[in-house]
């Protein structure tokens, strides 16, 4: 039986604002609670020997939220990384950022880029923050870069294949996630890693992200293992039938 741990887990951290409102708090207080949970999930992934964790921290669609909530979400990385960066260095955690950073306020962009640069030589778990990220934008910006290089005679378009194109995405050099988790009860991908998750196992839970924990992550991984084992068994049966 295959009990493999997914190398790359991606999480849509949904339900922070609703968690706060349900408790009579502000949506921003819900996001703060989500940031605290995020730290626990990083710890859990280290314990489970997950090599890469991608967290959907701010989508390109989130700009349409109320101004005070957006402002808080822009400030949160500054506060988070100022507090956690020494710990990330001590624990050998490698921070990556995926998304359109050019559109962010200077303090937010600088905090994200500083964390990525400071931890760039760390060799432990990779924690990839998808910030101001959208899957369609990811693909479009990749296409624009390819067109630019072709027009400048830096690339022969006949060389292009899926592996090469992946190097033009925000997540370049990272393998595709085997498991994508969405908390908060919604059952859609919401423009998250559209190219990268084309073959991923999807796992949905009604639990709001601030209540997501190590035990629930373990349940998601067990479900991933059950499905991949089932796929393997079905493939073996099919190959046996074909061979006669």
How many domains are there within the chain?
1
Q: Give the CA angle between residues 144, 202, 115 to the nearest 5°.
A: 55
In a domain? residue 73: yes
Predicted TM-score of the model (pTM): 0.92
- Residue 31 marked as a ligand binder: yes
Structural domain includes residue 126: yes
pLDDT in single tens digits along all 244 residues of the chain: 346 899 999 999 999 999 999 999 999 999 999 999 999 999 999 999 999 999 999 999 999 999 999 999 999 999 999 999 999 999 999 999 999 999 999 999 999 999 999 999 999 999 999 999 999 999 999 999 999 999 999 999 999 999 999 999 999 999 999 999 999 999 999 999 999 999 999 999 999 999 999 999 999 999 999 999 876 555 555 455 444 4
> What is the per-residue burial (b if ≥16 Cβ within 10 Å, else e) of 100-110?
ebeebeeebbe
238 is in an annotated binding site: no
Domain at 90, CATH number: 3.40.1180.10
19 known member of a binding site: yes
Domain range for 123 is: 8-134+176-243
SS3 176: coil
- Do the domain assignments include residue 15? yes
Residue 195 annotated as lining a ligand binding site: no
Does the annotation count 62 as an active-site position?
A: yes
Determine, yes or no, domain membership for 165.
no
In-domain check, residue 50: yes
Catalytic residue among 62, 100, 122, 191: 62
């Amino acid at each position: 039986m295959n009990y493999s741990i997914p190398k790359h887990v991606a999480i849509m951290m949904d339900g922070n604002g609703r968690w706060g409102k349900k408790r009579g708090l502000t949506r921003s207080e819900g996001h703060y609670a989500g940031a605290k949970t995020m730290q626990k999930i990083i710890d859990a992934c280290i314990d489970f020997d997950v090599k890469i964790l991608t967290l959907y921290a701010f989508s390109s669609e989130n700009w349409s939220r109320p101004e005070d909530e957006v402002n808080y979400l822009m400030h949160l990385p500054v506060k988070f990384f100022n507090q956690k960066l020494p710990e990330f260095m001590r624990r050998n955690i490698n921070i990556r950022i995926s998304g359109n950073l050019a559109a962010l306020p200077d303090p937010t962009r600088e905090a994200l880029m500083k964390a990525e640069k400071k931890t760039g030589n760390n060799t432990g778990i990779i924690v990839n923050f998808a910030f101001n990220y959208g899957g369609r934008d990811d693909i479009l910006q990749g296409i624009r870069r390819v067109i630019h290089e072709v027009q400048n005679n830096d690339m022969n378009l006949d060389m292009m294949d899926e592996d090469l194109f992946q190097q033009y995405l925000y997540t370049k050099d990272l393998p595709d996630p085997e498991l994508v988790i969405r908390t908060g009860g919604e059952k859609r991908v919401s423009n998250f890693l559209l190219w990268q998750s084309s073959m991923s196992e999807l796992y949905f839970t009604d639990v709001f992200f601030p209540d997501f924990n190590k035990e629930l992550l373990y349940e998601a991984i067990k479900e991933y293992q059950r499905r991949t084992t089932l796929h393997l068994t079905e493939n073996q049966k099919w190959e046996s039938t074909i061979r006669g």
